[in-house]
Amino acid sequence: MSHLPIILASTSKYRAQCLEKLNIPFKQASPICAEISKNNETPKTLSLRLSIEKAKSLKNQFPEHLIIGSDQTCSFDDIEIIGKPGNFENAKTQLLKASGKCMHFYTGLCVYDSKNDTFNASVETYTVFFRELSELEIEDYLKQDQPYDCAGSFKAEGLGITLFEKLQGDDPNSLIGLPLIALSKILRQKNQ
């Protein structure tokens, strides 16, 4: 695809697993970026801004590379951002609140060419519709999948799929944290 070496500006094992699907060599590096929202910043705007900042933060470390930055926000109503739960109790609270409702995921993507100081960026939207969930179902699910490091408190690639009524979006990989369809398109354009 591209002739420049590729850096994934993330230490996420989930994003790395997504990128491995493209069968291209890459290295991972931790971005230097404060993941803090600004006043009145929407979840969509936040994910786009952070994906760009993450990619650009590695410019000095990788001056002749394609740097992939990605960030995901999750919300119930485009106002309240839902973070990673961190533990069982927080995850249970998130899933109880999600029962019978939908969550919107915004996955920002930035491919930054550090050699030419140019970038392509976009945001992919994915919506998860939860079925009505009982407290017992939620507890059983959390004990099995332990999605405490996942926004929304589920792993769609695991047992989390059983919690849903339906999924809606263009790229299921964006739900995991890296929109591969959009990324593939950008990388093909870079190779032309």
Catalytic residues: 71
For residues 179 and 18, what is the distance between their CA atoms, to the nearest angstrom?
8
For residues 132 and 175, what is the distance between their CA atoms, to the nearest angstrom?
21
For residues 170 and 19, what is the distance between their CA atoms, to the nearest angstrom?
17
Starting at the earlier edge strand, list the strands of the sheet with 6-8.
Answer: 27-28, 6-8, 66-75, 102-113, 118-130, 164-169
For residues 167 and 175, what is the distance between their CA atoms, to the nearest angstrom?
10
Q: What is the DSSP letter of 81?
A: B
- Using DSSP's 3-state secondary structure scheme, residue 28 falls into strand
